[in-house]
Amino acid sequence: MNRAPKVKSNLEYLRKLFIMPDSPDKFIEFGHELLEMIHDFFKEKGGIHSSITLPELNYIFDKTAIPDEPHLIKDVLSEIKTKIIAHSVKVGNPYYIGHMISAIPYFMILLEMITAALNQNQVKIETAKASSFVERELVAWLHRLIYEKPEQYYRKNIQNPQVAIGNVTADGTLANLTALLVAREKAFPAQKNFPGARTAGMARALAHYGYARGVVIVSTRGHYSIKKAGNLLGIGEENILSIPVDKHNRMDLGKLDRRLKTLEKGDDAGTKLIAVVGIAGTTETGNVDNLKALAEIARETGAHFHVDACWGGSAMLVDEYRPLFKGIEQADSVSIDAHKLLYCPMSMGIILMQNERDLNLIRHSSQYIIRKNSVDTGRFTIEGSRPFAALKPWAALKIIGREGYGLLLKQAKKSTTTLQTLIDGCGNFETLNLPELFILNYRFIPETVRQKITFLQNRTGSASAEISPKRREQQIRKVNHLINGLNIKLHKALRRDDTSFVSRTTLESTRYRPQRIVVLRAVVVNPLTNAQILEEIVDTQNRIGLEIWEEFKPVYKRICEEYQL
Amino acid sequence: MNRAPKVKSNLEYLRKLFIMPDSPDKFIEFGHELLEMIHDFFKEKGGIHSSITLPELNYIFDKTAIPDEPHLIKDVLSEIKTKIIAHSVKVGNPYYIGHMISAIPYFMILLEMITAALNQNQVKIETAKASSFVERELVAWLHRLIYEKPEQYYRKNIQNPQVAIGNVTADGTLANLTALLVAREKAFPAQKNFPGARTAGMARALAHYGYARGVVIVSTRGHYSIKKAGNLLGIGEENILSIPVDKHNRMDLGKLDRRLKTLEKGDDAGTKLIAVVGIAGTTETGNVDNLKALAEIARETGAHFHVDACWGGSAMLVDEYRPLFKGIEQADSVSIDAHKLLYCPMSMGIILMQNERDLNLIRHSSQYIIRKNSVDTGRFTIEGSRPFAALKPWAALKIIGREGYGLLLKQAKKSTTTLQTLIDGCGNFETLNLPELFILNYRFIPETVRQKITFLQNRTGSASAEISPKRREQQIRKVNHLINGLNIKLHKALRRDDTSFVSRTTLESTRYRPQRIVVLRAVVVNPLTNAQILEEIVDTQNRIGLEIWEEFKPVYKRICEEYQL
C-alpha cells in the first residue's frame, strides 16, 4: 500500500507545479535526480524482461479508480522507479536482438525534454512556429534521400505552404494509411457530377466508375498495417490481395502476373486496382521486393505505387545499400519510420509523396484552425494534434550525420553477418532467409536431424527409387513439425532464461515451402551488440536447444522407425 | 552558416553516444545544461510568437539535404536554442489564451525523459511489460470516471487481456476514428454469408444489408475529425450529416428529429444511421450537447452513440460539472484528450468503450507480434508502434489527484467568468456564447454600434411600423458585416502586438443567426492566468480595437445615413 503523506490540495501549491520562473529549484533538483535514475536504469544488470510474472503485474496495477488526494512528486517518482522502470523491457540492452527496436543515443532523451517543454502542437502555425519549418526541412531531407529530385525542386517546395511533399505521422501504420488514402482518392477522383471518393464514400465511388470492388496488392510478407488500412478505408480486408513470395521473400512476379490477369475476367471482372505496395525491408525477414518491376507494373495498370520502407528506408543513407532499393524513386509514396533505423525513440513515421500535389487530395480545413489560406501543417495530416517529434530525427541527422549513420548501418550489417556465421558454424542451426537488411531467420535443428532432412530433400531421380516422392515429403513434414514444436519450446525457454532475446515467427517461404516453419528472428541493429555478445547468445540457444531436444528425441526416433529413415 | 568544427566519424565515438554506463558524465552534463536552458525559456520575457516573420523562418530552415558530416552535440543544442526555441510559440504563457493548449506542470518534462529512456513500444508485451499494465490501469480510471460501473466490473476487466475497455491513441482524432470504425462494424456486422464490413468493405456491406449509404450525425459544431473519419472510413464526407445548433451551440433536437424523419423517405430511403455523435465541449464554443436526448435517439434508431469529449471529458473530475454531461454514461464510446484538460504535453487521446467486447470487432493479429492468443495491447489499436504516453496522465492523476484537478478546473471556470465580466463591463465588447467549459466567444463592437444594433433588434410590433422587418434585418447585416471586418483586422493587429493571444473563428449560431459572425475565442485554462492578466488583455484589445475603429467609422457613418439609423 502506498502510505504517502497527504499533500495539501491548494491552488498555490498547484500553481507552483506550473511556474518555473518562481520555483526553479524543484525543477532542477528533480531533473538532476531523474538524470541519475535514468543513468542507473541503463547501468543495471539482470534480465531483459524482469522476472516478474504477468499475474504479479496485474496485482500491482489494479487500482480501479483515480486517486482522490495528491501524492508528493518524489513519492510518485519512486513508485515509477520500483513498479515501472524495474519491470520495463530493456530494449536497449545489446543482448536484446528480437525486434526492430534498439538502444537510442542518449541525446534523444534530452531532445524529448525540449519537445515537452516547448509543447508545440504541429497542427497549426499559431501553436508551432519554428517547429513547423523544422518539420518541413526534415521532410525535404528524407524526400531527397529517396527521390533525389533536382536542387531547385527542393528550393521551390521545402517551405511552400501550398503543398506538402510529405507528412510526419504518429507511426508507420499511419504513414501507410496516408499513402493508401491518397491512392484511393486517385483511383476514384472527382470529375463532373462526382465529387471524388473522399466526399462520396467508397460505395458511390465504385458505382460511379463502374467497378464492383477496389483492391490493393501486396506480398504475403506485407505488414499487417496494410490489411488494417483495407479495413479502415472501407476497401475491405478481403480486397487486400496477398501475392505469394519467392524463396527470398520477394513478391513472386510470375504469380503477380497471373493474379493480375485473373482480375480482368470471371468473378473478378469489375475490379479496380487501387495500389501496388512494394516492401523495402519486410518486417519478418528484412528482404526488399523487386521495386523496379513493381513500379513498371503499377505504371502499366495505372495503380498508385506505394513502397513500405518503414524498416529499410533509412538504409538508403548508405550508398552501398542503394542498389537494393532500385525503383523506389518511381514510387508515388514511400513510408519510413524514425524509431527504427534512425534510432529515434517511440514513435514517429514519415510519408513522402513523389508528387507534391498528391497530399492536396486529402487536404481539409476548418473555421477556427487550419483555415484554407493558412500555412498550417495540419491541413494535410490524418492526425489532428501532433507533437514536435520531428526535432529528434532532425537533430540526430545533424549530430550523427549521413556519415555516422553510414557507419552505424554498416556495423549492423557486419553484426548480422557475424551472427549468420556463428549460426552456420555451430551445426545445430539452420539459416532460413537471405539477410538483406539486418534480419536473420533461423532455427535450432540438431545436426543429425538437419543432415537427415537434407539427405531426404536431395534424394531425387533414380537413386531414390526405393522411396516415393510423396512419402519422402511426408517424412520431411513430420520432422519439420517436430522441429517446429522444438523451436516454440526453445523460444519459451529463452524467454525464461531472459539473458537475451530473439523473437519468433512462422514462415511459409523457406526451402521447405509450402510447409510453415517456425523460425527464430534476430534483428541485429544495436551498435553495442558485438561479436562476443552474439557468440554468447548462440551458445545459450545451442545449450538450451540441446537440453530440450532430449525430450523430443523419442518422438524423432519413432518417426525414423516409421519411415525407416 | 554553421561553421561547426568537424567531428570525427568513427564507430567508437558513435557507440559512446549510445552507451551510458561507460560515459555517464556527458549525459549528466548535457542534461544539467538542458534543464537550465529549459528553465531560461520559461523565464524569458517578450512576445508570444517571436517577432520573426515566416519568410525569415523560410530562410533559416532551407537546407535541402541531409548533412554529411556529424556536428557536435553542443553545437546542435545551441542551434536548437537560437533557431528553434527562440522562435517557438510560448503556449504556456499566461497571456496565451487562444487555444486548447496551456502551461503544463514541470514534472511532465521529467516524465517525458523517462518515457524516452525506457523507449517501450506499447504495441506488444515483448517490448512493453509494466507499461502495458499502467496503460490499462489508466484506461480503467477514465472509464470509471465516465461510466461509473460497479467495482467488480473494473476488477474483472482492468487487466483482462481478452478485452479492452479502451485504447490510448495518438490524439483525439484517432480516438474519434476508432469509435466510428467500431460503429461502422456494428452497423454492418458479420453474419451468415457475410464477413462484416471490415472484411467485405463498405460497398459490399451496404449492398448486403440493402442500404444505399451509411450516415453519421453530428452538429455543425462537430470537430473536423468527424468529417475526416467520414473520408477515411469510406463512408464519405457528404454522409456526415451536419445538424444545426440552437442558440447555445447544442444540436437542435427539433431539426435533428425532422432530419431523421426525412432519412426514411424519398431520395434518402435506404440510409443506414451508423452513429450519432454528441459533443461534450465543442471546440469553438465549449458547449455540451444534450447527451441524454441524443442517447435516447441513438437507442431508438439502433445507432452507435459516440461522445466526443476530447475537450470537456476531464471536467467530469469535478462533481459540480457532472450534471452538464448527463447522458454520457449511455454513450457506446467516449473520447478524451490528455493534452487538453489533463494538462499533459502533446499529444495523447483515449477512446473508452462502454461495452468491453466492442473493441474486439476491430481486433487483429499477425504471425510475429500481436499473436491471437497474446496479451498485446496492439491487437486493439489503429496505430502500430506507440510510445508509453500513458505514463504522463497516470502520474499526473496521482501527483495532482482528483482534488487537485478539481481546483485547477474550478479556477479555469473562475477565470472564464472574470474574463466575461471584464468583457461585458467594458462596453465595447459583446459576449456571444454561454461559456460552459472555459471558452468564451466575444467580439469587439464600439458601444454606440452595439446599442444601435440592439435597438434595431428590439424594434418589434407597432412601434417600429415606420421600418419594415426586412429592411431592419438588412441594416443589421450591413453593420455586422462591417464589425466582422473590424474583428478580423483587430485579430491581425493583436497578432502583431503579440503581448497576448486569443484565436478567432466564425459562428452562425449567435443572436444574429443565421448571419455568420466573426468572433474572438478565448480558452481560459492556464492556472497562471489571473484577473490582472485578463484585465491587461481586455485593455489591450479595447485600445487597439478603438484605434482600428477609426478607419471603419466613415463606412459605418455611410451605412447609418443610407438607412437613416
Q: How far is CA A212 from CA A203, B184, B196, B201, B333, in A?
A: 9, 20, 17, 11, 33
Q: Do domains B173-370 and B403-563 have the same CATH topology?
A: no
Task: Determine whether the interchain pair A38/B386 forms a contact, defined as Cβ–Cβ distance below 8 Å.
Answer: no
B58 touches chain A (CB under 8 A): yes
Q: Which residues of chain A make contact with B108, given a CB cutoff of 8 A?
A: 116
- Per-residue pLDDT of A81-121, as tens digits, reads 999 999 999 999 999 999 999 899 999 998 999 999 999 99
Task: Give the whole-angstrom CA distance, residue A541 versus residue A429.
Answer: 10
- Name the A residues in 409-438 with CB < 8 Å from any B CB: 411
A155 touches chain B (CB under 8 A): yes
Task: Determine whether the interchain pair A399/B120 forms a contact, defined as Cβ–Cβ distance below 8 Å.
Answer: no
Task: Give the whole-angstrom CA distance, residue A128 versus residue A539.
Answer: 52
Q: If we measure between CA atoms, which residue out of A229, A110, A347, A90 comes closest to residue B169? A: A347
- Name the A residues in 368-387 with CB < 8 Å from any B CB: 368-370, 375, 382-387
Q: Which residues of chain A make contact with B147, given a CB cutoff of 8 A?
A: none
Residue A371 has which C-alpha cell? 483555415
Q: Which residues of chain A make contact with B159, given a CB cutoff of 8 A?
A: 57-58, 61-62
Q: Do B32 and A119 touch, CB atoms closer than 8 A?
A: no
Q: Among A9, A170, A401, whose Cβ lies nearest the Cβ of B404? A: A9
* CATH code assigned to B403-563: 3.90.1150.170
Task: Give the whole-angstrom CA distance, residue A306 versus residue A180.
Answer: 8
Within a 13 Å sphere around the CA of A247, how many CA atoms are in the beta-carbon half?
Answer: 5
A356 touches chain B (CB under 8 A): no
Residue B407 has which C-alpha cell? 481546483
Q: Among B39, B184, B225, whose Cβ lies nearest the Cβ of A27? A: B39
pLDDT for B21: 52
Q: Which residues of chain B make contact with A36, given a CB cutoff of 8 A?
A: 28
Residue in chain B nearest A98 by alpha carbon? B126
Instruction: Judge if pTM exceeds 0.80.
Output: yes
Q: How far is CA A283 from CA A440, A504, B181, B235, in A?
A: 11, 12, 26, 31
pLDDT for A427: 96
Q: Which CATH number fits domain B173-370: 1.10.3720.10, 3.40.640.10, 2.40.50.90, 3.20.20.70?
A: 3.40.640.10
Q: Which residues of chain A make contact with B382, given a CB cutoff of 8 A?
A: 173-174, 228, 232
Task: Determine whether the interchain pair A201/B84 forms a contact, defined as Cβ–Cβ distance below 8 Å.
Answer: no
Q: Do A233 and A225 touch, CB atoms closer than 8 A?
A: no
Query: What ipTM goes with this model?
Result: 0.97
Class of domain A406-563 (CATH, top level): alpha beta
Q: Among B69, B85, B234, whose Cβ lies nearest the Cβ of A233? A: B234
Task: Give the whole-angstrom CA distance, residue B512 versus residue B515.
Answer: 6
pLDDT for B466: 66
Task: Give the whole-angstrom CA distance, residue A399 versus residue B7.
Answer: 9
Q: Among A71, A234, A346, whose Cβ lies nearest the Cβ of B235? A: A234
Cα-based angle A469, A470, A475 (whole degrees, multiple of 5): 95
Cα-based angle B482, B483, B489 (whole degrees, multiple of 5): 95
A403 touches chain B (CB under 8 A): yes
Task: Give the whole-angstrom CA distance, residue B441 versus residue B505.
Answer: 9
Residue found under cell 534512425: A342
Which residue type does B395 have?
A
Q: Among B77, B386, B503, whose Cβ lies nearest the Cβ of A346? A: B386
Task: Determine whether the interchain pair B170/A174 forms a contact, defined as Cβ–Cβ distance below 8 Å.
Answer: yes
Which of A232-241, B14-23, B107-116 ranks highest by mean pLDDT? A232-241
Task: Determine whether the interchain pair A140/B116 forms a contact, defined as Cβ–Cβ distance below 8 Å.
Answer: no
Task: Determine whether the interchain pair B130/A384 forms a contact, defined as Cβ–Cβ distance below 8 Å.
Answer: no
The alpha-carbon gap from A429 to the nearest alpha carbon of chain B, in Å, equals 20
- Per-residue pLDDT of B305-329, as tens digits, reads 999 999 999 999 999 999 999 999 9
B79 touches chain A (CB under 8 A): yes
Task: Give the whole-angstrom CA distance, residue B370 versus residue B380.
Answer: 9
Q: Do A53 and A59 touch, CB atoms closer than 8 A?
A: no
pLDDT for B1: 41
pLDDT for A36: 86
Q: Do B202 and A236 touch, CB atoms closer than 8 A?
A: yes
Q: Which residues of chain B make contact with A395, given a CB cutoff of 8 A?
A: 76, 80
A504 touches chain B (CB under 8 A): yes
Q: Provide mean pLDDT across the span A332-341.
A: 98
pLDDT for B44: 75
Task: Determine whether the interchain pair B366/A158 forms a contact, defined as Cβ–Cβ distance below 8 Å.
Answer: no
Task: Determine whether the interchain pair A385/B173 forms a contact, defined as Cβ–Cβ distance below 8 Å.
Answer: yes
In the predicted structure, residue B20 carries a pLDDT above the cut 70: no
Q: Give the three-state DSSP class for B351.
A: strand
The alpha-carbon gap from B310 to the nearest alpha carbon of chain A, in Å, equals 11
B146 touches chain A (CB under 8 A): no
Q: Do A438 and A524 touch, CB atoms closer than 8 A?
A: yes
Residue bearing the bigger pLDDT, A366 or A161: A161
Task: Work out the mean pLDDT of chain B and round it to a whole number.
Answer: 93
Task: Determine whether the interchain pair B527/A9 forms a contact, defined as Cβ–Cβ distance below 8 Å.
Answer: no
Confidence of residue B103 (pLDDT cuts 50, 70, 90): very high
- Per-residue pLDDT of B159-206, as tens digits, reads 999 999 999 999 999 999 999 999 999 999 999 999 999 999 999 999
Task: Determine whether the interchain pair B399/A501 forms a contact, defined as Cβ–Cβ distance below 8 Å.
Answer: no
CB pairs under 8 A between A and B: 594
- Per-residue pLDDT of B510-536, as tens digits, reads 999 999 999 999 999 999 999 999 999
Q: If we measure between CA atoms, which residue out of B64, B168, B157 comes closest to residue B115? A: B168
Q: Provide mean pLDDT across the span A372-396.
A: 95
Task: Determine whether the interchain pair B339/A133 forms a contact, defined as Cβ–Cβ distance below 8 Å.
Answer: no
The alpha-carbon gap from B7 to the nearest alpha carbon of chain A, in Å, equals 9
Task: Determine whether the interchain pair A99/B121 forms a contact, defined as Cβ–Cβ distance below 8 Å.
Answer: yes
Q: Which residues contact B336 (CB under 8 A, 6 or more apart)?
A: B142, B146, B172, B175, B309, B310, B313, B314, B342, B349, B350, B352
Q: Which residues of chain B make contact with A239, given a CB cutoff of 8 A?
A: 201
Confidence of residue A34 (pLDDT cuts 50, 70, 90): confident
The alpha-carbon gap from B460 to the nearest alpha carbon of chain A, in Å, equals 33
B116 touches chain A (CB under 8 A): yes
* CATH code assigned to A121-399: 3.40.640.10
- Name the A residues in 249-288 with CB < 8 Å from any B CB: 283-284
Domain ranges of chain A: 11-90, 121-399, 406-563
pLDDT for B463: 52
Q: Which residues contact B340 (CB under 8 A, 6 or more apart)?
A: B100, B101, B172, B310, B311, B314
Q: Provide mean pLDDT across the span B496-504.
A: 95
Query: What is the H or E stretch that residue A380 is in?
Result: none
pLDDT for A462: 45
In the predicted structure, residue A327 carries a pLDDT above the cut 90: yes
B400 touches chain A (CB under 8 A): yes
pLDDT for B497: 95
In the predicted structure, residue A437 carries a pLDDT above the cut 90: yes
Q: Give the three-state DSSP class for B251.
A: strand
Task: Determine whether the interchain pair A384/B10 forms a contact, defined as Cβ–Cβ distance below 8 Å.
Answer: no
Percentage of chain A lying above the pLDDT 90 cut = 84
Percentage of chain B lying above the pLDDT 90 cut = 84
